[in-house]
A and B are shown apart, each in its own frame.
Chain A
Amino acid sequence: MAFEPIIVSFLCNWCSYTGADLAGTSRIPYAPNLRTIRIMCSGRIEPTFVLKAFREGADGVLMCGCHPGDCHYHEGNYKCLRRYHLLQKYIQQLGIEKERLRLEWISASEGKQFASLANEFTETIRQLGPSKIKKVMETLT
């Protein structure tokens, strides 16, 4: 069977999730590979969530928040941005391809952009192939 990427996406309630919703209500077809988790703010995406998603078998993780300056809570998306940079450096040290973790800003009106992001990210992960994290990190007891 052909490889279908499993992607966990964290979308903030105020912009990105609404943007994804708009893609749906506008009936824009896009890749069905995203497993979306709605959170109140991209500042809520704890690094633990991302690491756990990878550990439990996600091939890619997508973090989405409001555009800079637009955060409903003023600065949650900046916190997310800083965590993203720290996470990127850390996962690369562990030999995980940096393309597997992506941060994008999607506003409530960007349904079309969200659909093309989903397609594009799914395609990137498809090219990379399945993640080996789950298998390699298992402890053989």
Chain B
Amino acid sequence: MVVYNYVFIGLLLLVAVAFAAAPLVVVALVAPRKRSAAKDDTYECGVRTHGETWVRFRIQYYIYAIMFVVFDIETVFLYPWAVSYGGLGTFALVEMVVFLTILGAGLAYAWAKGVLRWA
């Protein structure tokens, strides 16, 4: 069955996690362990942290994430279209042109509104 291929993926996942964890286990056994107050502190170029670890994040990050979600789903629709294009006629191309135009209009709107600036 086709799906049995994924047994390998599962196996690979387990082996990869083991491979990633193995050096850490070795480190836990081998590396020295001398704790000190300075070492446990957050690193800020050798200076004590002043102020809270609260940073005001700008909306920019969220905008980029939303754009990414929208275009990611667009590619989710593009893949089946691309794969089935050979067996379908011109109407498939037209439908995809309409779809991409709608999404392109969204991108153009975002661009024109100026939200694609890192500001």
Pairing of A with B: no
Q: What residues of chain A have their CB less than 8 Å away from a CB belonging to chain B?
A: none
